[in-house]
Amino acid sequence: MFSYINGTMPAWLKTAARIPVLAFADSCLRGIGQVVFMNNPFTGLMILTGIYFFSGWLGFAGTFGVAVSVLAAIILGLNRETIRAGLYGFNGVLVGLALATFSKNMWDGRVIIFILILSAISTILTEALNKIFDVWKIPSFTLPFNFVALLFLAASFYFFESTIISVAAPPLPAITDVVDNIYYLDIIFIFNAVFRGIGQLFFVNNPLSGIIIFAGILAASRIAGTFALVGSGVGMLAGVALGANSYTIYNGLWGFNTFVAAIAIGGFFYVLTWRSALLAIGCAIVVALLFGAISAFLVPWGVPALTLPFCLGTLAFVLIGKTSLVFTPVEGTMTTPEQHLQFFYAKNQ
């Protein structure tokens, strides 16, 4: 049973391919998993569970966003294998979640129409950016989501006289939990910061949801799961070191960019060695600094940094490996950190 949901689930990929509806659902779930680099529908399902557990409206918006963006890819005749790997879905799910998070009222029909339009646009932008980034053999990460969502949020006061979207005054996602009597950096603080950090990537501010999502990552890859914890922890510590507001740290806002960055560098884009493990921590620190810097940079528009810090920081760290003498970038099809290690050892024996 466990070996079936491990890795990229190739057996299930073939099973699902027989029934179009299943294949579509599989593409969507893999799309959700790809937000954390996991081409695995079980990871996607766990993430979705974590989101629905936090809010039905958010769950619906994410589901609708990913479905629209995958459908758009099919209608536009884009590469089928890429669609099946979920690579046209991970921006759409985030577009849906972002719009639902910042909508003034839940279940607003106009917001749902905007999710429809903007998720489809995210697919077009994904394809366009991929064409551009192909030159350097690098992915565009969640840049399409960031561009679409940031422009929409910055322009939201334009649409329907600002009655549907409200960007919170500080350039940070809304903080729902009030923490009054916590002891700074005690075990409860750390637990919350780390697991809320994992949840916040999906606009979910709830440690239990974070644990469910973490379990989904762990099922696909133990290495990725480990770096998720490490990355979220590094982000928390960076926030503390920079003297950031402890409410924002407790609520995981310093962790959601850094944990994906750590997964990316620690085993996914580089074969895992002690050097690339250190590089992953270094990347998480840079991404944390970028979180502060980009949040400040976006102040004139009153919008949050979303995952721009992760995108820009990790891109730089992926690029430096191309000719470095001490790191081993993963080449060919990317699957999971574990398989990258296996292939590397098999090749160098």
Interacting residues toward its own copies by CB under 8 A = 76-79, 117, 121, 124-125, 127-128, 131-132, 135-136, 151-152, 154-155, 157-161, 242-244, 285-286, 289-290, 292-297, 299-301, 315-317, 319-320, 322-327
Nearest distance from residue 111's CB to its own copies, in Å?
14
With H, G, I as helix, E, B as strand and everything else as coil, classify residue 19: coil
Nearer to its own copies, 15 or 163 (CB): 163
- Residue 135 DSSP class: G
Nearer to its own copies, 161 or 180 (CB): 161
C-beta of residue 86 within 8 angstroms of C-beta of residue 94:
no
With H, G, I as helix, E, B as strand and everything else as coil, classify residue 223: helix
Nearer to its own copies, 47 or 148 (CB): 148
DSSP codes, 274-321: HHHHHHHHHHHHHHHHHHHHHHHHTGGGT---TTHHHHHHHHHHHHHT
Token code pair at residue 39: 């081409």
Nearer to its own copies, 29 or 175 (CB): 175
Nearest distance from residue 279's CB to its own copies, in Å?
8
Pseudo-torsion of CA 200, 146, 58, 153, nearest 10°? 110
C-beta of residue 205 within 8 angstroms of C-beta of residue 22:
no
Nearest distance from residue 194's CB to its own copies, in Å?
22
**Based on the number of CB atoms within 10 Å of its own CB, is 137 exposed (0-12), middle (13-18) or buried (19 or more)?**
exposed
Nearest distance from residue 188's CB to its own copies, in Å?
26
Nearest distance from residue 135's CB to its own copies, in Å?
6
Nearest distance from residue 124's CB to its own copies, in Å?
6
Nearer to its own copies, 100 or 279 (CB): 279
**Residue 200 CB neighbours (<10 A):** 24
Nearer to its own copies, 138 or 208 (CB): 138
